[in-house]
């Protein structure tokens, strides 16, 4: 709901602050007072194309602020992408400078004009002879009919959900099929190479951790070989010229043993020599190296180098070779079993498409019922709006499968008997179009989300009973959706919940447009002015009182 509109320096408006309410807000005034300026300013705040001609003469900048009270989930989701909070309402602000630059904000956050228009189109819809109505856009017709159907047929939303679910299954399966076909086409061309690699890795049969184990064993064997040479050098040093040191010491001890005397005066030294010789003999035995198995060393190196070569070939770590083998084996299996896989998936797709077609057919049947009900309801509204010769139809054509079924929907109208049906946007013009849009909005009002509608001079070319019928329908529409109406009709003005008068005055050679809410006698006098013209008569006052509803 539009709650407040502030305008600064737009054409004839210097400063203006209007507060709107729920229900039917009527704006009246003499021709040329500036009613169209209000619409231009409001449109600017909603993202319309800027025009520096809107800036008041003598001013450098103009601005419009439109405040809305809304709880629309679509808007909330859209603004969340820009991190804009709208829990406390929505303030749209637009400025325009004489250099042609225009800037926009939503809740004081700078946004593009495109974003401002996206939000504006959801919040408010202007109906007039030259306005671009939402209903005139064929892309909105399906969702409009679906909203109407969901409010008139309790099973509609359930069937629509079923269509979305079956379409997702069908679409996902189609995507899997396309992916599988692309993969198989690529892999079939590589099959021989793939089979060779699988055969190599299967023969190699690498185990996780095997490379590290082989490397550790190889290092140990290399070290053992080096240590053997060192030990041999040590033993050689202990056995110069083939005569071991322990033997030499034993010989010395034996010689000293021959010394005469009881006890032998060198017995202590002899015992020490025996001990030393015994220790050296034991050391020599300990230092003798174990034989290194050259064959084992060769097999370890051959295995290790083969594993590392395979890892380099596939550009992965050695421990990833088992996983690589598994992946390539699976690819090879898919190629070799491609016909089976493809046929299985194609069978699934046929079933999914059948399920979707059945659900889409149910949905289409219900849409046809909703279309007939919409037509019946709309035709009941048209005679009182001086559109008794008009007819309405919903055209169904086949579309590609989608989450909303297989229906293309276009609203069609003909305004004269014998004329062919034509799309809504091209079949009516001027006042006919405005009244037709009013009738449709009244019929659709129960299925509309919270919305604000603006009707600009919808009463053009009508009077009397037709004007009263227009006012009555505007009043009905306003019970569900806030409605703003610019009118020259006393009958329409009589239905107002809130009445504003637009006036123009000249002071100090400056022309200014002002707007104020009128009530009581002021409202009676304004409606009387519309009836009788510049001179208000007692008769027009009496008639004005009879036109005011409530």
pLDDT number for residue 266 = 77
Q: For the residues 214-239, what does the mean pLDDT come to?
A: 77
**pLDDT tens for residues 93-116?**
999 999 999 999 999 999 999 999
Look at 31-35, 122-126, 382-386, 533-537 and tell me which has the smallest mean pLDDT. Answer: 31-35
Return d(Cα 382, Cα 399) in angstroms, integer. Answer: 31
- Say what the pTM is: 0.69
Average pLDDT over residues 457-483: 88
Q: Check whether 122 has a pLDDT greater than 70.
A: yes
Beta bridge partners of 408: 397
Instruction: Give tens-digit pLDDT for 481-504.
Output: 899 999 999 999 999 999 999 999
Phi and psi (nearest 5°) for 428? -135, 160
- pLDDT for position 242: 61
Count of C-beta atoms within a 10 Å radius of residue 152: 16
> Cα-atom radius of gyration of the chain, to the nearest Å?
48
Band (148; pLDDT cuts 50, 70, 90): very high
Distances (CA, A) of 111 to 1, 51, 77, 103, 216: 21, 19, 15, 8, 65
Confidence of residue 290 (pLDDT cuts 50, 70, 90): low
pLDDT of residue 225: 75
Nearest to 124 by CA among 483, 499, 432: 483
Over 90: is that where the pLDDT of 395 sits?
A: yes
Among residues 277, 281, 157, 294, the alpha carbon closest in space to that of 224 is found at 294
Please tell me the distance from the alpha carbon of residue 446 to that of residue 469, in angstroms, as a whole number: 19
Specify the pLDDT at position 429.
61
pLDDT tens readout for residues 321-346 = 999 999 999 888 877 877 788 889 99
> What φ, ψ does residue 28 adopt, rounded to 5°?
-130, 165
Give me 116's structure tokens.
């401002």
Q: For the chain, first and last CA: distance in Å?
A: 23
pLDDT confidence bin for 400, thresholds 50/70/90? very high
Q: Strands, DSSP E only, in 90-219?
A: 90-97, 102-106, 109-111, 124-127
Show Cβ contacts of residue 297 under 8 Å, excluding neighbours closer than 6 positions.
218, 221, 222, 225
For the record, the structure tokens of 477 come out as: 């529409």
| pLDDT-wise least confident of 265-269, 372-376, 382-386 | 265-269
| CA 271, chain centre distance (Å) | 99
pLDDT > 70: what percent of the chain?
94
Average pLDDT over residues 305-320: 91
Q: What average pLDDT does the chain have?
A: 87
Interatomic CA distance for residues 257 and 267, integer angstroms: 8
3-state class of 57 per DSSP? coil
Considering the chain, tell me which residue range(s) the CATH 3.40.50.300 domain(s) occupy. Answer: 2-129+430-518
Q: Which CATH architecture has domain 2-129+430-518?
A: 3-Layer(aba) Sandwich (3.40)
Q: Return the DSSP state at 259.
A: -
pLDDT digits (tens, 9 = 90+) for 180-213: 888 878 777 778 888 899 999 999 998 998 888 8
Q: Which pLDDT band, with edges at 50, 70 and 90, does 380 fall under?
A: very high
Percentages (nearest 5) of helix, strand, coil residues in the chain: 55, 20, 25
Long-range CB contact pairs, 160-166, < 8 A, 24+: 160/363, 160/404, 162/359, 162/362, 162/363, 163/356, 163/359, 163/360, 163/362, 163/363, 163/403, 163/404, 163/405, 164/403, 164/404, 166/352, 166/355, 166/356, 166/358, 166/359, 166/360
Alpha carbon distance 66, 44 (integer Å): 10
pLDDT at 245 over 70: yes
| CA-wise closest residue to 93 among 109, 70, 72, 78 | 109
Which residues have CB under 8 Å from 228's CB, separation 6+? 289, 290, 292
Q: How many CB atoms lie within 10 A of CB 475?
A: 21
3-state SS, residue 5: strand
Residue 464 token pair: 């009397």
Summarised one tens digit per residue, pLDDT across range 45-83 is: 999 998 999 999 999 999 999 999 987 778 888 888 888
pLDDT of 449 higher than 60:
no
pLDDT of residue 294: 56
Q: Which two tokens stand for residue 257?
A: 């043993």
Confidence of residue 301 (pLDDT cuts 50, 70, 90): confident
The C-alpha atoms of residue 316 and residue 330 are separated, in whole angstroms, by 18
């Amino acid at each position: 709901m539009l709650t407040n509109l502030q305008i600064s320096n737009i054409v004839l408006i210097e400063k203006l602050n209007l507060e709107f309410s729920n229900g039917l807000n009527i704006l009246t005034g003499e021709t040329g007072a500036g009613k169209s300026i209000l619409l231009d300013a409001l449109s600017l705040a909603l993202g319309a194309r800027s025009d520096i001609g809107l800036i008041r003469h003598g001013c450098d900048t103009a601005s419009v602020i439109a405040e809305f009270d809304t709880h629309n989930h679509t808007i909330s989701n859209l603004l969340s992408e820009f991190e804009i909070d709208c829990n406390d309402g929505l303030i749209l602000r637009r400025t325009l400078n004489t250099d042609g630059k225009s800037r926009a904000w939503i809740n004081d956050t700078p946004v593009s004009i495109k974003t401002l228009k996206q939000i504006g189109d959801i919040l408010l819809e202007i109906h007039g002879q030259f306005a671009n109505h939402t209903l005139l856009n064929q892309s909105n017709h399906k969702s409009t009919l679906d909203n109407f159907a969901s409010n008139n047929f309790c099973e509609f939303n359930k069937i629509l959900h079923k269509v979305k679910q079956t379409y997702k299954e069908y679409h996902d399966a189609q995507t899997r099929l396309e992916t599988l076909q692309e993969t198989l086409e690529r892999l079939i061309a590589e099959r021989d190479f793939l089979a060779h690699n699988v055969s190599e890795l299967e023969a190699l049969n690498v185990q996780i951790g095997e490379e590290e184990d082989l490397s550790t064993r190889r290092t140990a064997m290399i070290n053992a070989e080096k240590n053997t040479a060192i030990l041999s050098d040590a033993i050689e040093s202990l056995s110069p010229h083939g005569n071991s040191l322990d033997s030499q010491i034993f010989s010395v001890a034996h010689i000293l043993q021959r010394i005469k005397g009881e006890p032998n005066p060198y017995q202590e030294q002899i015992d020490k020599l025996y001990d030393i010789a015994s220790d050296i003999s034991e050391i020599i035995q300990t230092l003798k190296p174990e034989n290194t198995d050259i064959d084992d060393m060769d097999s370890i190196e051959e295995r290790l180098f083969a594993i590392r070569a395979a890892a380099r070939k596939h550009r992965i770590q050695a421990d990833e070779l088992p996983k690589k083998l598994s992946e390539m084996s699976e690819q090879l299996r898919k190629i070799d079993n491609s016909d089976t896989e493809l046929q299985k998936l194609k069978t699934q797709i046929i079933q999914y498409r059948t399920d979707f077609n059945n659900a889409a057919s149910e949905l289409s049947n219900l849409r046809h019922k909703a279309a007939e009900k919409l037509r019946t309801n709309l035709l009941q509204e048209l005679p009182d709006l001086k559109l008794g010769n008009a007819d309405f139809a919903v055209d169904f054509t086949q579309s590609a499968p989608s989450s909303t079924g297989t229906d293309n929907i276009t609203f069609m109208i003909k305004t004269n008997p014998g004329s062919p049906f034509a799309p809504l946007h091209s079949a009516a013009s001027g006042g006919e179009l405005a009244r037709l849009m009013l009738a449709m909005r009244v019929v659709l009002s129960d299925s509309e989300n919270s919305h604000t509608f603006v009707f600009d001079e919808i009463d053009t070319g009508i009077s009397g009973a037709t004007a009263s019928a227009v006012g009555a329908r505007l009043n009905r529409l306003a019970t569900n959706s806030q409605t703003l109406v610019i009118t020259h009709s006393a009958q329409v003005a009589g239905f107002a919940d809130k009445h504003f008068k637009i006036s123009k005055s000249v002071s100090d050679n400056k022309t200014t447009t002002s707007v104020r809410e009128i009530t009581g006698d002021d409202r009676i006098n304004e409606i009387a002015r519309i009836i009788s013209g510049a001179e208000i008569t007692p008769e027009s006052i009496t008639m004005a009182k009879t036109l005011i509803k409530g």
